[in-house]
C-alpha cells in the first residue's frame, strides 16, 4: 500500500512525542543510503516543525561510519551530505549534530592487511566488519553513554529487508522497554527506535521522492545512484512482483572479498562513462578475490 499524508503525519507526531518525552540523546545511524536518509529526514522534519523553543530540546547525533575503503562514490556522497546537514542544522537552531566516524589507525584495512599480514577477509575469518564498522560506532555510543548515562539509537532497519531481520525485530518488539523503544542488546541503558520498521522498499522511495531533502542533498540524485548501481540501470517506483527494486542495490567496501562479485561497482562503471576511472579498483578487487 502507498503512503498517504496521514501516514506521514502520524509518524511525525510519534517522533515529536518521543523526542520531547525525555532528555535522553538520540543517535541516528546514517550511511547516506535510502533507509537512513528517510530516517534522518523524518526526524529533521518532525523537529523543524516544533515551536522554535523546543527544537533544541536535546541532542540528536547523526553518525556515519566511513571504513576508509568505502565505494568512492558513496563515501563522497555521505561526506558532502554531512557537511550540508551540519550547516543547515545550525542555521535552523536545531541540535542535530553530524559526526563522521572512522576506524582507529591500527584497525584500518590496510594496516591489518599489509602491516599485520592478515589474509583477505573471508566468511570464516571476517575480521573487517568489527574493526572497520562496528568498533567506531560502538566507541561513539559508549562515549555518549559515559557522558549522558542513556541513549536512544534511531535506526532505519525494516522488517521487509529479510525474513531473518523480520524475526529478530518481532522478537525485540515483544520485549519493548516502553512504547516504540526496544532494549539494545549490545549496551545497557540504550534503546532502539525504528520508525519505518513496517515500510516496504517502495514506500521508502515514495517518501524520498515526495518530500524534498531538508538539508539540501538531492534525493533524486540518490535515486539515480541506486539506479546506476543496478545491472539494468533501472529503478522503478511503481513495482509489480516481477519488477526489480532499488532495495536490491548494495553498496559496500570496494575491496570486499566477502561477496563473489561487486555488482554495484560493476554496474556503476557500465552505466556511467564518468565512473570508468573506478575500473582499476574493480580489477584489483577481482584479482584479490
Measured distance CA(261)–CA(29) in Å, rounded:
27
The reported pLDDT for the residue numbered 274 is 85
The reported pLDDT for the residue numbered 232 is 40
Q: Give the distance, in angstroms, between the CA of residue 122 and the centroid of all CA atoms in the same chain.
A: 24
In words, the CATH class of domain 5-221 is alpha beta
User: Which residues on adjacent β-strands are paired with residue 97?
Assistant: 61
Each residue's pLDDT tens digit, 108-131: 999 999 999 999 999 889 999 899
Q: Where are the domains of the chain?
A: 5-221
Range among 29-43, 176-190, 229-243 with highest mean pLDDT value: 29-43
In angstroms, what CA-CA distances link 212 with 29, 35, 54? 20, 15, 23
Each residue's pLDDT tens digit, 213-269: 999 999 999 988 887 775 443 333 323 333 333 434 456 789 999 888 888 888 888
Nearest Cα to Cα of residue 122 among 286, 257, 261, 288? 257
Amino acid at each position: 500500500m502507498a503512503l498517504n499524508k496521514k501516514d506521514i503525519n502520524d509518524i511525525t507526531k510519534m517522533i515529536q512525542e518521543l523526542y520531547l518525552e525525555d532528555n535522553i540523546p538520540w543517535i541516528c545511524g546514517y550511511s547516506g543510503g535510502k533507509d537512513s536518509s528517510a530516517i534522518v529526514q523524518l526526524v529533521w522534519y518532525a523537529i523543524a516543525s516544533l515551536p522554535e523553543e523546543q527544537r533544541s530540546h536535546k541532542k540528536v547525533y547523526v553518525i556515519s561510519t566511513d571504513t576508509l575503503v568505502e565505494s568512492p562514490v558513496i563515501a563522497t556522497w555521505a561526506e558532502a551530505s554531512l557537511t550540508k546537514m551540519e550547516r543547515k542544522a545550525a542555521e535552523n537552531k536545531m541540535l542535530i549534530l553530524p559526526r563522521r566516524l572512522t576506524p582507529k589507525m591500527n584497525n584500518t584495512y590496510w594496516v591489518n592487511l599489509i602491516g599485520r599480514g592478515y589474509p583477505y577477509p573471508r566468511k570464516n575469518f571476517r575480521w573487517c566488519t568489527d574493526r572497520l564498522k562496528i568498533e567506531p560506532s560502538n566507541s561513539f555510543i559508549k562515549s555518549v553513554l559515559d557522558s549522558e548515562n542513556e541513549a536512544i539509537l534511531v535506526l532505519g532497519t525494516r522488517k521487509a529487508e529479510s525474513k531473518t531481520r523480520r524475526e529478530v525485530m518481532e522478537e525485540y518488539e515483544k520485549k519493548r522497554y516502553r512504547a516504540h523503544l526496544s532494549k539494545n542488546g549490545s549496551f545497557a541503558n540504550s534503546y532502539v527506535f525504528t520508525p519505518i520498521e513496517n515500510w516496504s522498499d517502495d514506500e521508502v522511495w515514495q517518501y524520498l521522492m515526495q518530500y524534498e531533502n531538508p538539508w539540501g542533498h538531492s534525493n533524486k540524485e540518490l535515486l539515480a545512484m541506486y539506479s546506476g548501481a543496478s545491472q539494468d540501470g533501472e529503478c522503478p517506483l511503481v513495482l509489480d512482483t516481477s519488477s526489480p527494486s532499488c532495495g536490491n542495490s548494495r553498496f559496500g567496501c570496494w575491496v570486499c572479498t566477502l561477496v563473489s562479485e561487486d555488482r554495484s561497482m560493476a554496474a556503476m562503471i557500465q552505466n556511467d562513462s564518468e565512473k570508468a576511472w573506478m575500473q582499476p579498483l574493480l580489477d584489483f578487487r577481482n584479482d584479490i578475490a
